[in-house]
Amino acid sequence: MTEACIFCQIIQGKSPARIVYQDDEVTAFHTNAPRMPVHLLIVPNRHFDSVNQLEEADATLIGRLTVVAARLAAENGIAEGGYRLVVNTGPDAGQSVSHLHLHLIGGGHMPVFFS
């Protein structure tokens, strides 16, 4: 955890957020700037600046983020219609907070970027 990181502060309960899920490894909460009716951020409780810091030993943690995303998609009624999982890595990709996070986005039709 880093004190300057807003996501670390949310995980520790030091900064307000609408948390929808939390366990020993993962925290999920509503974003402050939703792009779709459902837009949640799913973060590891352990601080990583980005995907670039992950190592082989972290593979199960990334799997855990994805499993939590699928659970939250079902709970929010978007699993059947479809949803998008997005991880931005670095400023050129649009990463604005230096804490690895997975966007769960859905609740409406989205343009296809890749098929």
Q: Which two tokens stand for residue 86?
A: 């997005």
Catalytic residue, chosen from 39, 99, 101, 103, is 101
Contacts of 59 (CB under 8 A, 6+ apart): none
101 counts as catalytic: yes
CA distances from 46 to 88, 108, 112 (A): 18, 32, 32
Alpha carbon distance 53, 89 (integer Å)? 10
| Residues annotated catalytic, as ranges | 101
